[in-house]
Chains A and B, each alone.
Chain A
Amino acid sequence: MTNGKPLLQVHHLKKYFPIRSGLFSRVSSWVKAVDDVSLEIQEGTTFGLVGESGCGKTTVGRTILRLMEPTEGTALFEGENLFQLDARQLRQTRRRMQIIFQDPYSSLNPRMTVGSLIGEPLRVHGLAKGVALDTHVRRLLDRVGLRPEHQSRYPHEFSGGQRQRIGIARALALNPKFIVCDEAVSALDVSIQAQILNLLGDLQQEFHLSYLFISHDLNVVQYLADHIAVMYLGKLMEVAPATALFENPKHPYTQALLSANPIPDPSAQRERMLLSGDVPSPLNPPAGCRFHTRCPEVMDICKTQDPPLIHISPPQNRHQVWCHLYS
């Protein structure tokens, strides 16, 4: 499934948001939305990023695309560090990486026709114009399962699933290698979710795309992802190949997440692992392991020391976990 060539390597990514207060807007504290996240995405594969809302998944995706400026870290995309590009280089690099949004209702400009929405990036980057532009747009529409005559319509005339298809066509227009799917199917009905997921899968095959698939829905991620990372309060908890993560979760948080995931079989019995309490505020995260306040297997060391990165054997499996249980 993997050909082993890394397309994107993110190292020690941090994104802190300042909290300002007082008369002179002094920075009084920081929200550590993403705190030291490293991940590696292979060419042509899907990397799933899961976690509860507010854990920093979206921030990871958006900082990688430089839609937000990172506080620290590096992101090597085909060998160049995305975080050091100047505005002109960034514009060129943006052609190779795109984003698909969660909400298909706010991701399309309501005052532009579908044709001009999809054609805009092509025109702006000088890739096509006139008849060539028109055929290109038609081909894209056709590829995502819409009809060519839809290009003169406005976004509000489409249903959610169709709008998401338009968003996908727009992301594909520049022929990118890497797409961040930011909760791309979360706002859709389950039946439509399946259609869109299949479409994303087909497009991956056809254009040799890599996805960073951000979601809170484990089933969706399981369906599509080759690798999965689990995030909690801005930190990674566990990174593993999809099968290993689902069959043999190591981190207590991952175990709890998986046990909360419904199985489509009413007779199946499973021991639920219920977490108590709420997610602590990222403004004032717990010391040591961030999960220790809710962890069923909490030890004394968890409350004071950051858990180290543990490689679960065999190492070629690339199963990593950040937990004192395994040190």
Chain B
Amino acid sequence: MSARTTKQTDESAENDLPPLETPWEEFLHVFKKDRLAITGAVVLGLLVLAAISGKTFTEWIVLFDPEVVRLPDKFLPPLSSPSSEVIPEQDLPLLGIYLMGTDELGRDVFARMLQGSFVSLSIGFIAVGISVIIGVMLGGFAGYYGNLKLGIITIDTLIMRFTDVMLCFPTFFLILTVVALLPPSIYNIMIVIGLTSWMGTTRFVRAEFLTLREQDYVVAGKALGLPESRIIFRHMVPNAIAPVLVSATIGVATAILTESGLSFLGFGVQPPYATWGNILADGKGFIFDAPWLFFIPGLAILVVVLAFNLVGEGLREALNPKLRGR
């Protein structure tokens, strides 16, 4: 009863709505309550910082040189000091200690991890960028223009069956095959990972577009004589993008893992470039003598992938009103 009265007063005093939250404020409000997601976001913030400083301090202003070989200092555990009497002064690590120890050639693992964080992160983002662009284009096309006929089959059938074919390949082995044929540069790896991981996004976007196409506001846009491009990019894409964003965050984690896996197998980014994957791969031979070579990159990958997944999960809940407050 009271609900009804409120509704009616509300309606009669129609013009006196209290100022409500914008969707963005509402999103922040929900996201902030999710402690795990916030933790994930903080870790990702630190990672981005590490990646940027890694690029800066190992390549442009060289404070840490990941490529300096100091054979007398090989296999030093984390936090040990360099044997300064034999190492030339310009090769000494910053702060005078090896924060994360040294590897079999006496290279500073901390410097290598920093350099690797940039490689891993950029591979993650660019690969996912490529896959999201392909996914949104193909999915949007299949969803919106799906009914058009191309010869005897519809565009929708064509695109979705191609997607199914791509999904049938075990992605990792597909990537391995491609990488075996191409020179294993960072860029090739980004592109290959991107080109083999768009299928999920395509399915998502197609499903969203199929639903949105029947929504009254899209029909209204048509009735108002809006151009098709405007209907698609102003009315449909913004409403379809939330689940894509979520799958993209999780996709970044997958791409980082894939790159690590490739590097581990020796098909990834080639030395002297350090990535978390090839530090891990190099370390596997010395797991008993120098366990930090194995555990530091492994732990870093674990934490970052976990952080991406937590943020993705948090985004999913904050962006989808139906999942809120669970």
Contact = CB atoms under 8 A, between A and B. Distances in A.
Interface of A: 62, 65, 67, 90-92, 94-95, 97-99, 101-103, 106-112, 120-121, 124-125, 145-147, 150, 153-154, 156-159, 161-162, 167, 170, 173-174, 189, 191-192
A99 B220 contact: yes
Contacts of B15: 146-147, 150
A174 B238 contact: no
Given A110-B239, A154-B23, A91 B217 contact: no
Interface string B229-247: 0100011001100000000
| Interface SS of B by simple majority | helix
A170 B224 contact: yes
7 contacts: A62-B219, A102-B216, A106-B215, A121-B225, A153-B20, A167-B220, A192-B11
Given A159-B7, A192-B11, A124 B23 contact: no
B7 A121 contact: no
Given A101-B220, A124-B230, A159 B10 contact: yes
B226 A120 contact: yes
A10 to B, nearest CB: 17
Contacts of A106: 215-217
A189 B223 contact: no
Given A147-B15, A162-B14, A191-B8, A94 B223 contact: yes
Given A67-B219, A108-B217, A189-B7, A94 B239 contact: no
A158 B216 contact: no
Nearest to A182: B216
A125 B226 CA distance: 8
B224 A94 contact: yes
A110 B238 CA distance: 10
B222 interface: yes
A115 B71 CA distance: 69
B2 interface: no
Nearest to B220: A107
Contacts of B20: 153, 156-157
Contacts of A121: 224-226
Given A101-B220, A147-B15, A95 B225 contact: yes
Nearest to B12: A191
A254 to B, nearest CB: 30
A111 B239 contact: yes
A174 B220 CA distance: 13
B227 interface: yes
B17 interface: yes
B216 A101 contact: yes
B238 A111 contact: yes
A82 to B, nearest CB: 13
Contacts of A109: 217, 234-235, 239
Nearest to A165: B14
Interface in B198-230: 215-217, 219-220, 222-227, 230
B22 interface: yes
Contacts of B8: 189, 191
Nearest to A62: B219
Contact of B223 (A65, A92, A125): A65
Contact of B224 (A62, A120, A147, A153): A120
Could you say which of A65, A106, A153 has the most chain B C-beta atoms within 10 Å of its C-beta?
A: A106
A125 B225 contact: yes
Contacts of B11: 159, 161-162, 189, 191-192
Nearest to A87: B228
A99 B226 contact: no
A106 B227 CA distance: 20
Contacts of A154: 22-23
A18 B20 CA distance: 46
Nearest to A162: B14
Given A107-B217, A111-B23, A189-B7, 17 more contacts: A62-B219, A94-B225, A97-B223, A101-B216, A103-B216, A106-B215, A109-B234, A120-B224, A121-B225, A156-B23, A157-B17, A159-B11, A161-B14, A170-B220, A173-B224, A189-B8, A191-B11
A103 B217 CA distance: 10
A91 B225 contact: yes
A107 B216 contact: yes
Contacts of A150: 15
Could you say which of B8, B17, B20, B225 has the most chain A C-beta atoms within 10 Å of its C-beta?
A: B225
A98 B222 CA distance: 10
Interface in B267-325: none
A161 B235 CA distance: 23
Contacts of B7: 159, 189
Contacts of B239: 109-111
Contacts of A174: 224-225
Nearest to B18: A157
Nearest to B227: A124
Contacts of B230: 124
